[in-house]
């Protein structure tokens, strides 16, 4: 890591124009050998170099279908893991900065989830006969593998409802981690009463729940959240509506239940992009998701007189996603030109095999 830091340091003093030109030149030389994937939350100066952009589901599919030797994922760690799991053995997944993680994913680790499973076993008997474990794609590969071992599945914000329908068809209850809000908002949209969705506090014995609460619950929601989407509050929507009575509100399902209930539309990043693009000229939107995406929405639609406002008055972006910068991208590409692979993401084979089961189930369930 120290050697990498020293190697990258030489790029820090380059001006933006030179970095841009060298990235472009490296891409031309590497040609179809490299595929750059860019998540919607990525900063613009990196996002513009992506060969394919999208949300987690779209990029997961692209990783599986790519013929490139090298898949450079401009996103965060769990996304590069998915690319490695779904790609062919000879392909190499690369994350430009290994420090690009996900605070939500870090809220659920294998030790805590296995402890929760043992405690649920004590209350419900054989948990494998009663509970389908569902992990949001924003999680580490070992948790996807855990779901593979226990008959579970992965979901994204695009396909959560289809995945939950599949999960309930397998068993009567769901353990959903790491994001409580996506689970609650999706469950409510499917008609599950709030009192049948309980929150598992992973810092408390038995999740801080009574035996009766666990037995009555249909969904057990891990007490995790996205720090960006957690910032948005109902009062932000109230203030927007007071100023723009004809405005529309659209939110990501990682937002709180209260925010989603006050929104006109709730959906994934792809859904948000398509909904704003399809709206009438002159429409004004309050958008509850990451700042880079909201800024891009505004720029792409302003020619039609549309306005996209970031929901929170406090400027905040995904700080870990922001770690992927043009300097790191250039460093990765120029090393590939020299025949050197840096920052490869490689999931252990047994873990990858079990995780692949859950990802393939997800892709089969998704429309």
The per-residue pLDDT for range 95-150, each reduced to its tens digit, is: 999 887 677 777 899 999 999 999 999 999 999 999 999 999 989 999 999 999 99
Q: What is the pLDDT of residues 304-318, one digit of tens each?
A: 999 999 998 876 555
Q: Which fold has domain 105-225?
A: Rossmann fold (3.40.50)
Domain positions in the chain: 2-100+320-347, 105-225, 229-310
Q: Exposure of 202 by Cβ count < 10 A (0-12 exposed, 13-18 middle, 19+ buried)?
A: buried
pLDDT confidence band for 283 (50 / 70 / 90): very high
Domain 229-310 has CATH 3.40.50.10800: yes
Sequential DSSP letters for 263-316: -SEE--HHHHHHHHHHSPTT-EEEEES-HHHHHHHHHHHGGGT-EEEES-SS--
Give the phi and the psi of residue 250 in degrees, each rounded to 5: -135, 135
CA distance 160 to 165: 9
Distance of CA 350 to the CA centre of its chain: 23
Q: What is the pLDDT of residues 149-176, one digit of tens each?
A: 999 999 999 999 999 999 999 999 999 9
Q: Cβ neighbours of residue 130 under 8 Å, at least 6 residues apart?
A: 124, 171, 172, 173
Q: Which fold has domain 2-100+320-347?
A: Rossmann fold (3.40.50)
Determine contact, residues 363/63, Cβ cutoff 8 Å: no
Q: Cβ neighbours of residue 161 under 8 Å, at least 6 residues apart?
A: 186, 189, 190
Which of the pair, 226 or 186, is modelled with greater confidence?
Answer: 186
Judge whether 105-225 and 229-310 match in fold.
Answer: yes
């Amino acid at each position: 890591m120290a050697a990498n830091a020293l190697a990258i340091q030489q790029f820090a003093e380059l001006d933006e124009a030179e970095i841009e030109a060298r990235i472009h030149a490296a891409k031309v030389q590497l040609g179809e050998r490299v595929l750059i994937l860019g998540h919607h939350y990525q900063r613009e100066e990196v996002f513009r170099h992506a060969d394919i952009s999208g949300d987690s589901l779209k990029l997961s599919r692209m990783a599986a279908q790519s013929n490139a030797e090298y898949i450079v994922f401009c996103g965060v760690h769990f996304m590069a893991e998915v690319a490695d799991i779904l790609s062919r053995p000879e392909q190499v997944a690369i994350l430009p900065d290994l420090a690009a993680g996900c605070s939500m994913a870090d809220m659920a680790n294998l030790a805590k989830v296995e402890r929760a499973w043992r405690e649920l076993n004590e209350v419900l008997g054989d948990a494998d006969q009663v509970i389908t474990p569902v992990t949001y794609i924003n999680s580490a590969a070992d948790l996807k593998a855990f779901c593979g071992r226990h008959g579970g599945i992965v979901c994204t914000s695009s396909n959560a409802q289809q995945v939950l329908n599949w999960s309930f068809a397998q068993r009567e209850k769901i353990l959903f981690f790491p994001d409580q809000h996506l689970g609650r908002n999706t469950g409510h949209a499917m008609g599950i009463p709030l009192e049948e969705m309980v929150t598992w506090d992973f810092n408390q014995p038995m999740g801080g729940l009574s035996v009766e609460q666990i037995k009555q619950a249909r969904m057990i929601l891990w007490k995790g959240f996205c720090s960006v989407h957690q910032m948005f509050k109902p009062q932000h929507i109230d203030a927007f509506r007071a100023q723009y009575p004809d405005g529309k509100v659209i939110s990501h399902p990682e937002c709180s239940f209260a925010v989603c209930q006050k929104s006109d539309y709730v959906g994934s990043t792809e859904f948000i992009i398509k909904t704003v693009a399809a709206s009438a000229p002159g429409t004004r939107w309050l958008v509850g998701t990451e700042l880079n995406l909201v800024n891009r929405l505004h720029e792409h639609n302003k020619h039609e007189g549309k306005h996209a406002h970031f929901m929170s008055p406090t400027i905040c972006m995904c700080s870990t996603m922001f770690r992927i910068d043009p300097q790191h991208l250039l460093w990765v590409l120029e090393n590939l030109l020299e025949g050197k692979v840096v920052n490869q993401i490689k999931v252990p084979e047994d873990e990858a095999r079990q995780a692949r089961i859950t990802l393939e189930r997800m892709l089969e369930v998704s429309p």
